């Protein structure tokens, strides 16, 4: 059956977007030999950087969940003055140039920053260490967690919570046993998106915590110091690893939905 002009247009537009995404990825993959990728994987510095990137983003995401999910719930279910202002503030890290975010974070968490100068004497610093990487990743990626979780909470029928409260449940019990399980898929999507955005961060991290090097910083250093041939295998390795992780996570999420 011949598709209608409308469907044909939508398909053509979608194909152009898909090509736009796939072409650079395919160019990177097919212009790199498997041997160079395996060699990069065996490089101790690359291995440490890869582990640091994934673990730091996971830590940033885990810590942000503690405050991000409650904020998402309030923004979705409670009316209060200044709500739109708070939503705009949460969205700011998305549109700020990430180098500007790094400068702003340095003014707060640097050794002479607003908080840094008080925390440094007790041994808590954020420049050129894991703490700085986590702070930078959390700052630039938290909007994804808050916004996707907020949308998930907003889609739920408020009557579910009211019914639980009428039946004698406390607000905590209604949240944990009724609201949160219903919103879990959306919250999980927010967690994954925040984690994914964190592992790709460069600008804020390189200003606040250049060392130890995460993968984006290492790729930049290899490129500026040794050229394209030195950076390309690491970039391709990151593409392959991230793609594999996302495919696995999507299968796991789909399996959970079907349970």
**Do 108 and 11 belong to one domain?**
no
Query: What's the rounded Cα separation, in Å, for the pair 147 and 94?
Result: 11
**Do 137 and 14 belong to one domain?**
no
At 32-54, the pLDDT tens digits run: 877 777 777 778 898 899 999 99
Q: Average pLDDT, stretch 87-110?
A: 94
The pLDDT value recorded for residue 76 is: 93
Give the list of residues 6+ apart from residue 41 with CB closer than 8 angstroms, or none. Answer: 47, 237
Give yes or no for residue 184 having a pLDDT over 80: yes
The pLDDT value recorded for residue 58 is: 95
Identify the residue with better confidence: 236 or 1: 236
**Do 10 and 104 belong to one domain?**
no
At 111-127, the pLDDT tens digits run: 889 998 999 888 889 99
At 208-256, the pLDDT tens digits run: 999 999 999 999 999 999 898 888 888 888 888 888 877 877 776 666 5
Cα-based distances in Å from 241 to 25, 176, 191, 197, 244: 13, 34, 18, 15, 5
For 20, the domain range is 1-31
DSSP string, 97-151: -HHHHHHHHHHHHSTTSTTHHHHGGGT---SSSHHHHHHHHHHHHHHHHHHHHHH
Interaxial angle between packed helices 228-258 and 5-30, expressed in degrees from 0 to 180 and rounded to the nearest 10: 130
Indicate whether 37 belongs to any domain: no
Give yes or no for residue 259 having a pLDDT over 60: no
Query: What's the rounded Cα separation, in Å, for the pair 200 and 192?
Result: 13
Q: How much helix, strand and coil, in percent to the nearest 5, is found in the chain? A: 80, 0, 20
Nearest Cα to Cα of residue 142 among 221, 75, 85, 71: 71
The pLDDT value recorded for residue 228 is: 87
The pLDDT value recorded for residue 238 is: 86
**Do 6 and 105 belong to one domain?**
no
The pLDDT value recorded for residue 40 is: 77
Query: What's the rounded Cα separation, in Å, for the pair 202 and 32?
Result: 23
> Which range is least confidently modeled, 8-12, 30-34, 81-85, 196-200?
30-34
Give yes or no for residue 258 having a pLDDT over 80: no
- b/e per residue, 49-84, with b = 16+ CB within 10 A? bbebbbebbbbbbeebbeebbebbbebbeeeeeeee
**Do 63 and 127 belong to one domain?**
yes
**CATH code: domain of residue 94:** 1.10.3720.10
Total tally of structural domains belonging to the chain: 2
| Number of DSSP helices (H) and strands (E) in the chain, helices first | 13, 0
Task: Give residue for tokens 């140039």.
Answer: 97
**Do 52 and 127 belong to one domain?**
yes
Nearest Cα to Cα of residue 189 among 91, 72, 80: 72
**Do 25 and 101 belong to one domain?**
no
Give yes or no for residue 71 having a pLDDT over 60: yes
Indicate whether 168 belongs to any domain: yes
At 138-150, the pLDDT tens digits run: 999 999 999 999 9
Indicate whether 5 belongs to any domain: yes
Contact call for residues 60 and 134 (beta carbons, < 8 A): yes
Q: What is the pTM of this model?
A: 0.88
At 186-213, the pLDDT tens digits run: 898 899 889 989 998 999 999 999 999 9
């Amino acid at each position: 059956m011949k598709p209608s002009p409308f469907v044909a247009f939508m398909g053509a537009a979608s194909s152009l977007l898909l090509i736009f995404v796939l072409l650079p990825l395919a160019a990177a993959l097919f212009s790199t030999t498997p041997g160079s990728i395996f060699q990069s994987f065996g490089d101790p510095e690359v291995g440490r950087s890869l582990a640091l990137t994934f673990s730091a983003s996971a830590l940033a995401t885990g810590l942000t969940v503690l405050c991000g999910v409650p904020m998402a719930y309030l923004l979705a279910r409670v009316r209060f003055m200044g709500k739109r202002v708070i939503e705009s503030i949460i969205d700011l890290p998305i549109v700020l140039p990430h180098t500007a975010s790094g400068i702003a974070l340095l003014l707060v968490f640097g050794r002479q920053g607003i908080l840094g100068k008080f925390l440094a004497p007790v041994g808590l610093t954020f420049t050129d260490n894991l703490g700085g990487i986590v702070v930078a990743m959390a700052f630039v990626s938290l909007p994804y967690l808050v916004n996707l979780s907020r949308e998930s909470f907003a889609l739920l029928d408020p009557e579910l919570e009211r019914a639980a409260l009428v039946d004698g449940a406390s607000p905590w019990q209604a949240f944990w046993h009724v609201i949160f399980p219903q919103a879990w898929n959306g919250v999980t999507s927010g967690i994954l998106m925040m984690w994914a955005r964190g592992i790709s961060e460069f600008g804020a991290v390189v200003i606040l915590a250049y060392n130890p090097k995460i993968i984006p910083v290492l790729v930049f250093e290899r490129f500026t110091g040794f050229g394209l041939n030195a950076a390309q295998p690491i970039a391709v390795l990151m593409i392959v690893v991230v793609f594999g992780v996302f495919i696995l996570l999507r299968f796991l999420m789909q399996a959970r939905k079907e349970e």
